[in-house]
Structure 1
Amino acid sequence: MKVAVLDINGKETGRKADLSDAVFAIEPNNHAVYLDVKQYLANQRQGTHKAKERAEISGSTRKIKKQKGTGTARAGSIKSGVFKGGGRMFGPRPRNYGFKLNKNLKRLARKSALSIKANEKSIVVLEDFNFDSPKTKNFVAVLKALDLENKKSLFVLGASNNNVYLSSRNLKGSEVISNSELSTYKILNANQVVLLESSLEEIESNLSK
């Protein structure tokens, strides 16, 4: 698949990037995509929720009424969950929501996500660029030139670039990541995926295994 390479002014450079069909033109596997997105979102959960149970409530341990003869149910502790102020029965406890997926499935999910975006014409290849210093207005100018100012965009760098990253950090709709941070969720969550030229070789190398 041939895609025109653009510069930061949104103009074609005259060069074409060759996107591998093995990565950008496969038949998407929706279940693999579902599992990878589910794992990503599960890993974002802190799992620190906690409610006090009866053993953790302050209160008397005295038996509150005699066992028989009251005509009501047996009751041993005021800390029971059936009474006001008692502990929570079967309440949430801290836990880890993460689960494992094998590497081949995760690669398939990422290739499926990139293929979906390529089929939607939502992938842009941009020549490598840098800023002299971190300035948000410089990154906004790039977004305007690419007509991405009011769209969710994901910029994938070939190598970490602090000036570009810091220039984008204040912009809610745009995210700049390196190759190692590429995930199925981030690809699908963006309206437009912008791949810098230097990122293509590593993306195809990592996902073609």
Structure 2
Amino acid sequence: MVDCVVRNWQGEEVGQATLELKVAKEENASHIVHRALVRQMNNGRQGTANTKTRAEVRGGGRKPWRQKGTGRARAGSIRSPLWRGGGIIFGPKPRDYGIKMNRKERRLALRTALQSRAEDMVVVENFATQLPRPKTKDLMAALDRWGISAGEKVLLVLPEKQENVYLSGRNVAKMRICLADSLNVYDVLVADKIVTTADALAKVQEVYGD
């Protein structure tokens, strides 16, 4: 179980919140989180890289010169892999890089990764009402009050889609906004700070707390 301080819009401490998730054993934690991370990154690959073999390159049907008597090395096609403009040996072909992982393992890895970032988690009160209209400057000022510097990568976790919060933060270079029920291992690990509202933390506990 992890206890977190809850801050308000002005950055003042106003309460406590807890996060209790079932995580992997210490000896297996890094392994299962690594597997989940590799799976996510591999599954994001398009796998559309393609090169042509000597059978697919255009031309090369005629023998360039006769087999013997010229003094040059024997050649059967101008599209040999040894020639400029020829085919590619063992080049990439379209393929699926996807890796399978059981759903229970994926959820365990996500819970483990999330709880391991507890020290970098900032819990705040729901601040959607503080942004009656989209205002990036106000959101950045709030992050500063919450102890987050301008150069840090921030993962902002919301309980549900909040239009003004999304519009205020979408143009911030190092900010990633996601919903509490759609977290992923990569975003959790790559962020320097994780900012979540008390409602979003409760939803995380509800969705992933099994």
Interval containing the TM-score (normalised by the shorter chain): 0.7 to 0.9
Hey, what does 2:7 align to over in structure 1? 6
Hey, what does 2:46 align to over in structure 1? 46
Relative distance call for 1:175 and 1:159 in structure 2 (3 A) is same
Q: How many angstroms apart in 2 are the aligned matches of 1:104 and 1:72? A: 64
**CA displacement at 1:37 relative to structure 2:** 0.9
Hey, what does 1:101 align to over in structure 2? 101
Contact 1:26 1:111 in 2 (8 A): no
**CA displacement at 1:103 relative to structure 2:** 1.0
Q: How many angstroms apart in 2 are the aligned matches of 1:103 and 1:39? A: 12
- 1:129 paired to 2:130: no
Q: Secondary structure at the match of 1:165?
A: helix
Q: How many angstroms apart in 2 are the aligned matches of 1:61 and 1:189? A: 53
Q: How many angstroms apart in 2 are the aligned matches of 1:100 and 1:180? A: 21
The worse-fitting range, judged by mean Cα deviation, of 137-146 and 64-73 is 64-73
Hey, what does 2:151 align to over in structure 1? 150
**CA displacement at 1:186 relative to structure 2:** 0.8
Could you tell me which runs of 5 or more consecutive residues in structure 1 were left unpaired when the two chains were aligned.
Answer: none
- 1:186 paired to 2:187: yes
- Letter in structure 1 aligned against 2:123: V
Aligned length: 205
Could you tell me which runs of 5 or more consecutive residues in structure 2 were left unpaired when the two chains were aligned.
Answer: none
Q: How many angstroms apart in 1 are the aligned matches of 2:36 and 2:73? A: 49
* Residue-by-residue CA offset, 1:20-54 (whole Å, 9 max, x unaligned): 1536x974711111011111211332222222222
**CA displacement at 1:68 relative to structure 2:** 6.3
Relative distance call for 1:21 and 1:44 in structure 2 (3 A) is closer
Percent identity between the two aligned chains: 39
- Letter in structure 2 aligned against 1:100: K
**CA displacement at 1:66 relative to structure 2:** 4.2
**CA displacement at 1:85 relative to structure 2:** 1.5
TM-score, structure 1 normalization: 0.87
* Residue-by-residue CA offset, 1:85-133 (whole Å, 9 max, x unaligned): 1111121112222212111111111111122112xx2112111111212
Hey, what does 2:82 align to over in structure 1? 82
Q: CA RMSD in A?
A: 2.3
Q: How many angstroms apart in 2 are the aligned matches of 1:26 and 1:6? A: 31
Relative distance call for 1:72 and 1:104 in structure 2 (3 A) is farther
Contact 1:152 1:174 in 2 (8 A): yes
Relative distance call for 1:32 and 1:88 in structure 2 (3 A) is same
